[in-house]
Amino acid sequence: MAAPRSPEDTAAIRKGLAVGLSAAAYGVSYGALAVTAGLDVWQTCVMSLLMFTGGSQFALVGVIATGGVAAGPAAIASAAILGIRNGVYGIRVAPIIGKGRWRRFAAAWVTIDETTAVATTQPTESSQRWGFWITGLSVFVGWNVTSLVGALIGNSLGDVRAYGLDAAAAAAFLGLLWPRLRQLQTIAVAAAAAVIAIAVTPVLIPGLPVLVAGTVAIVVGAFNWFGKPGRSATHTQQTEGGDAS
């Protein structure tokens, strides 16, 4: 990595820094929503450091917001299910990272939507590596700093409903979902999942409706309903850009 940088490397580094900046910006909304849901500032920050995957963090906070600590198992399950895709990304980026136990460990920690998107869209092996690590580092630093800032802001507000923060949560999820709504299959799954989750809310304990709605993905994915033959949703997703962690 100490070798003189090519124009491709420089472009990858620029891209990584830009993605880090935008992820940092919405760390504030995560931090504020987390303390609003009932986490303290420390718990909010530990999640950003250790879990470090925005979708799962927002999900855990969202389930806790509706069901409290009693919805803990559902909150954990929601976060973990949303974390599965990072494992899939890991399979894809592992060849870019190369060998070495600690290097792979550090890489795995920051294997998320943003790093995968930037790394896999660079033209050369060297720029892929630069893109991955610079994105990982800048998103990690930015996300953690702004999570703390958001938590402190959220703590200083009184009635969060008066500020519309409960509505901000749904908008944040919509922002994570939006770039994925490109194919009929994903749109169909999204629509069905939302309807099912709302429909079963009156009869199930908080947290469970989200998990029940997740079965839509398993059924539609297994039989490839509404899908194009041979194309996987994950593959198109990860090349679409780093709009969501």
In angstroms, the Cα distances linking 2 to 5, 96, 110 are 8, 17, 22
Which residue among 14, 98, 123, 178 contacts another protein (CB under 8 A)? 178
Per CB under 8 A, does 241 bind another protein? no
The residue type of 45 is C
Start-end of H helices in the chain? 7-37, 41-46, 54-67, 72-97, 101-109, 113-120, 125-156, 165-177, 184-200, 208-223, 233-238
Sketch the per residue contact string, 209 through 238, with another protein: x for CB under 8 A, - otherwise. xx--xx-xxx-xxx-x--x--xxxxxx-x-
Nearer to another protein among residue 148 and residue 169 (C-beta)? 169
Q: How many CB atoms lie within 10 A of CB 80?
A: 13
Residues between 131 and 160 that touch another protein (CB under 8 A)? none
Per CB under 8 A, does 19 bind another protein? no
Nearer to another protein among residue 141 and residue 174 (C-beta)? 174
The interface region with another protein, picked from 6-14, 118-126, 130-138, 168-176 by CB under 8 A, is 168-176
Per CB under 8 A, does 87 bind another protein? yes
Place of tokens 């033209």: 123
Which residue among 11, 18, 76, 152 contacts another protein (CB under 8 A)? 76
What span, in angstroms and rounded, lies between the C-alpha atoms of 56 and 78?
7
